[in-house]
């Protein structure tokens, strides 16, 4: 069925415009606070390779926690389900950098999309790859079909300088033997993947992997099996939005992932991937405009997974 996606996106852009000043930019990583907060972009790419976009959709921003999905996809492609012996698959219901849950669950993070879980994933990538930073970047570039994607060293350094809580999490994991490598190396990789910069267009292109049974659209390369793709989509659905995953399911109804850089990317399996960017966040760390834009999208198209 052919939708008039472009006119739907244009309508959404004007519908969310009144929210332009709602929420605030993440400032706990000082380098992130430098962004112009009034940006808004949205890009939808269909499984047939058609692109629809509005606003600042071609502008790069810090993907932050969205990178956790790339790291997880890479780990699953390398070691399969074995990763789930070291990290769970349940929603945390807590904030992304919570320490308490780790204590009473003896160092097994609830899921791979919270910080502690992503650190375990990074630990495995260090074990599995000869040049983890380089190879992860190549993986993301392959998925997004864009060789220019890179790390922002200033953002990575800023997060390292102020990442006291993340350092606590990594050390805590190590005390439970759920980090095998040097804590500093794991944090360095974690901060770097968070600092990757991409546009809404890049993200929508890359996430088509999850709409397309784990096969890269542009090269037809199979990265994940159908079953692994199903599992990753399920994790995004239940764990992709910190302690607001229920709200995102409730209002949007798609698997997706957000980051404190203001990006959100979501997938309608077999149909499309869509990314939004609006730097101002709500109290739970999700983009105010992005959440609303995606709610409007699935409502206007009548196309959530439910
Ligand atoms: N690098 C950020 C942190 O670890 C990622 C947070 C996020 O996007 O949820 O604090």
Q: Mean pLDDT over residues 288-298, rounded?
A: 97
Cβ(166) to ligand 1 under 6 A?
yes
Ligand 1 centroid vs 258 CA: distance in angstroms?
10
Cβ(237) to ligand 1 under 6 A?
no
Determine the pLDDT at residue 3: 58
Cβ(260) to ligand 1 under 6 A?
yes
228 pLDDT more than 70? yes
224 pLDDT more than 50? yes
Cβ(64) to ligand 1 under 6 A?
yes
Cβ(159) to ligand 1 under 6 A?
yes
Question: What is the reported pTM?
Answer: 0.97
- Under the banding of pLDDT at 50, 70 and 90, the label for residue 94 is confident
Q: Where are the domains of the chain?
A: 2-301
Determine the pLDDT at residue 138: 98
Cβ(190) to ligand 1 under 6 A?
no
- The span from the CA of 305 to the CA of 221, in Å, is 25
Ligand 1 centroid vs 87 CA: distance in angstroms?
18
Query: Tens digits of per-residue pLDDT, 281-291?
Result: 999 999 999 99
Ligand 1 centroid vs 55 CA: distance in angstroms?
25
Span of 94-98, 135-139, 169-173, 224-228 with lowest mean pLDDT? 94-98
- Under the banding of pLDDT at 50, 70 and 90, the label for residue 1 is very low
In this structure, the dihedral spanned by the alpha carbons of residues 185, 88, 235 and 151, taken in order and rounded to 10 degrees, is 0
271 pLDDT more than 50? yes
Ligand 1 centroid vs 7 CA: distance in angstroms?
33
Which CATH number does 2-301 carry? 3.40.710.10
Cβ(259) to ligand 1 under 6 A?
yes
Pocket test for ligand 1, best of 29, 35, 116 (most atoms within 8 A of CB): 29
Cβ(229) to ligand 1 under 6 A?
no
Determine the pLDDT at residue 92: 85
Cβ(115) to ligand 1 under 6 A?
yes
Q: Mean pLDDT over residues 134-150, rounded?
A: 98
- Ligand 1 atom at shortest distance from the alpha carbon of 66: 8
Q: Mean pLDDT over residues 28-54, rounded?
A: 95
2 pLDDT more than 70? no
Span of 66-70, 173-177, 199-203, 214-218 with lowest mean pLDDT? 214-218
| Mean pLDDT value across the chain | 95
């Amino acid at each position: 069925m052919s939708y008039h996606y472009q006119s739907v996106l244009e309508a959404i852009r004007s519908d969310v415009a009144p929210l332009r000043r709602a929420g605030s930019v993440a400032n706990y990583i000082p380098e992130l606070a430098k962004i112009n907060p009034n940006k808004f972009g949205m890009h939808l790419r269909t499984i047939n390779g058609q692109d629809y976009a509005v606003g600042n959709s071609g502008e790069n921003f810090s993907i932050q926690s969205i990178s956790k999905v790339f790291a997880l996809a890479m780990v699953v492609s390398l070691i399969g389900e074995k990763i789930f012996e070291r990290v769970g698959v349940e929603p945390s219901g807590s904030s992304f950098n919570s320490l308490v849950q780790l204590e009473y669950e003896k160092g097994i993070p609830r899921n791979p999309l919270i910080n502690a879980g992503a650190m375990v994933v990074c630990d495995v990538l260090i074990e599995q790859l000869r040049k983890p930073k380089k190879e992860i970047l190549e993986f993301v570039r392959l998925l997004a079909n864009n060789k220019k994607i890179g790390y922002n060293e200033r953002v990575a350094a800023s997060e390292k300088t102020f990442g006291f809580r993340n350092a606590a999490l990594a050390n805590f994991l190590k005390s439970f033997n759920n980090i095998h490598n040097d804590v500093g190396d794991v944090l360095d990789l974690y901060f770097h993947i968070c600092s990757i910069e991409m546009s809404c267009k890049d993200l929508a292109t890359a996430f088509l992997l999850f709409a397309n049974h784990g096969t890269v659209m542009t090269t037809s390369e199979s990265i994940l099996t159908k079953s692994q793709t199903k599992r990753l989509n399920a994790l995004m659905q239940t764990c992709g939005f910190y302690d607001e995953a229920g709200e995102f399911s409730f209002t949007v109804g798609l698997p997706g992932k957000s980051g404190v850089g203001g990006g959100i990317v979501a997938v309608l399996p077999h149909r499309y991937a869509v990314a939004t960017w609006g730097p101002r966040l709500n109290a739970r760390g999700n983009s105010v405009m992005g959440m609303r834009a995606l709610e409007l999208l699935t409502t206007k198209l009548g196309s959530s997974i439910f």
